[in-house]
């Protein structure tokens, strides 16, 4: 079922025509009763009934709302324009909002792709774009959005790890929130298309390890950070030491034995890597 437009005209113009028809019908009824004219009475009665039917079909549409019309259980169409309109009489009118709305999911506890329990929540920004599907394809489109949103969030959370300690190129929930939100938007749009709903944006609002493993995973993150920092320091110390040995040999024209190279390398490495201050030691082995 797809949304379609239904017959509707300007309500003020239709109201004027209905009033004129009603007054004309009353005048014909009066003339018919005075002059004993059955045809005038019949035409007057028809005009009055038509005027009353037209007046009963007047409907007011608020901004960013739509009115869905059904005629004895059959979908006729939708009026999406705002204002006063005269439309098909004897129809049932259902109002539906076209405004942009937010749905904040509850904090869900799920397992990520590596089996770690995590807590995750998201906000879903959506609006109705097909009123026919929203009213007739699902029982309650708002509840449908809520249930499908939480189901999609659970599914997305199981496809990615919360964080990775081995590969820097792997997508994670914590490090690639934009990509994860984009994937969630796409999956939700596929799920909610049947309900005539368009997903405008999704954002993760809460992401954390579950309470029972939060402390252990925090220690692991801290250990990983410390090891990464140590690696950078060691790489820098090796580069500085190599440059110092090469410059002493080339610029100072000092002949350094292998034993002295080892001692120099050891001293420079210790002075750079250690977290405490080092005290210089004067070597007097060659002083005579």
**Model pLDDT for residues 191-249, shown as the tens digit of each residue:** 999 999 999 999 999 888 877 665 655 666 666 666 666 777 777 777 777 777 777 66
CB atoms within 10 A of CB 270: 11
pLDDT value at 47 more than 80: yes
- pLDDT score at 274: 64
Residue 288's pLDDT band (boundaries 50, 70, 90)? very low
109 and 188 together in one domain: yes
Assign 93 to helix, strand or coil: strand
Asked if 177 and 121 touch (Cβ cutoff 8 Å), the reply is no
CATH classification at residue 106: 3.30.479.30
72 and 107 together in one domain: no
Find the mean pLDDT for residues 257-277: 67
- pLDDT score at 190: 93
Q: Whole domain around residue 261: which residue ranges? A: 221-273
- pLDDT score at 63: 92
Question: Per the domain annotation, does 195 fall within a domain?
Answer: yes
Question: Per the domain annotation, does 282 fall within a domain?
Answer: no
Q: Which residues contact 132 (CB under 8 A, 6 or more apart)?
A: 1, 2, 3, 4, 68, 75, 78, 196
pLDDT value at 140 more than 70: yes
Smallest Cα–Cα separation from 109: which of 215, 219, 208, 221? 208
The residue out of 209, 236, 257 marking a domain boundary is 209
Find the mean pLDDT for residues 19-35: 86
- pLDDT score at 76: 93
Asked if 110 and 158 touch (Cβ cutoff 8 Å), the reply is yes
Question: Per the domain annotation, does 279 fall within a domain?
Answer: no
Model pTM?
A: 0.68
**149-168: pLDDT as tens digits:** 999 999 999 998 887 766 56
DSSP state for residue 171 in the 8-state scheme: -
Asked if 236 and 272 touch (Cβ cutoff 8 Å), the reply is yes
151 and 228 together in one domain: no
Greater confidence (210 vs 141) lies with: 141
The residue out of 209, 235, 255 marking a domain boundary is 209
128 and 191 together in one domain: yes
């Amino acid at each position: 079922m797809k949304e379609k437009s239904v017959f509707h005209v300007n309500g003020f113009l239709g109201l004027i025509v209905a009033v004129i028809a009603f007054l004309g019908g009353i005048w014909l009824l009066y003339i018919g009763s005075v002059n004993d004219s059955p045809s005038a009475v019949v035409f007057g009665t028809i005009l009055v009934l038509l005027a009353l039917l037209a007046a009963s079909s007047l409907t007011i549409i608020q901004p960013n709302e739509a009115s869905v019309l059904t005629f004895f259980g059959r979908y006729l169409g939708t009026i999406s324009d705002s204002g006063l309109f005269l439309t098909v009489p004897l129809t049932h009118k259902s109002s539906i909002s076209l405004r942009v709305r937010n749905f904040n999911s509850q904090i869900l506890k799920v397992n990520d792709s590596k089996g770690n329990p995590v807590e995750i929540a998201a906000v879903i920004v959506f609006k109705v774009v097909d009123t026919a599907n929203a009213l007739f394809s699902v029982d309650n489109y708002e509840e449908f959005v809520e249930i499908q949103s939480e189901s999609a969030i659970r599914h997305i959370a199981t496809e990615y790890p919360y964080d990775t300690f081995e590969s820097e190129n792997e997508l994670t929930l914590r490090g690639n929130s934009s990509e994860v939100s984009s994937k969630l938007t796409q999956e939700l749009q596929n799920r909610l298309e049947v309900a005539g709903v368009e997903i405008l944006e999704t954002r993760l609002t809460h992401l954390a390890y579950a309470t029972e493993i939060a402390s252990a995973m925090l220690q692991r993150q801290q250990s990983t950070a410390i090891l990464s920092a140590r690696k950078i320091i060691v790489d820098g110390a090796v580069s500085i030491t190599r440059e110092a040995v090469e410059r002493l040999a080339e610029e100072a024209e000092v002949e350094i034995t292998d034993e002295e190279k080892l001692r120099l390398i050891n001293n420079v490495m210790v002075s750079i890597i250690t977290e405490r201050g080092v005290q210089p030691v004067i070597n007097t082995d060659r002083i005579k």
